[in-house]
Amino acid sequence: MRKIGIIGVGHVGATIAYTLVVQGLADQLVLIDESDKKVIGEQYDLLDTMAGLDTVTTIKVQDYAALNDADVLITAFGSNRDESQSNEQIVTQIAAKIESADFTGVLINISDPCDLFTALLQAKTELPVKHVIGTGTLVDTVMMRRAIGLKLDLAPQNIGGYVYGSHGGSTFTAWSTVTVNGRPINEIQGSYGLNFESLMTASNYGGWLALAGKGFTNYAITTCVIKLVRAILSNAHLAVPVSTYSPEFETYIGRPAVVGANGVESLIMASLSELEQGQLKAAASVSKQKIDGLHRN
33 assigned to a ligand binding site: yes
Burial of 104 (0-12, 13-18, 19+ CB in 10 A): middle
13 assigned to a ligand binding site: yes
- Taking alpha carbons only, the member of 296, 290, 287 closest to residue 167 is 287
Helix boundaries (H) for the chain: 11-22, 36-50, 87-100, 114-125, 138-152, 185-192, 196-214, 219-233, 274-296
206 assigned to a ligand binding site: no
Q: Is 295 known to be catalytic?
A: no
16, 76 Cβ separation under 8 angstroms: yes
Which are the contacts of 11, defined by CB distance < 8 A and separation ≥ 6?
A: 216, 217, 218
8 assigned to a ligand binding site: yes
36 assigned to a ligand binding site: no
Q: For residues 117 and 112, what is the distance between their CA atoms, to the nearest angstrom?
A: 7
163 assigned to a ligand binding site: no
End-to-end CA distance of the chain: 39
Known binding residues are 8-13, 33, 87
Active site residues: 167
Return binding residues for NAD(+): 8-13, 33, 87
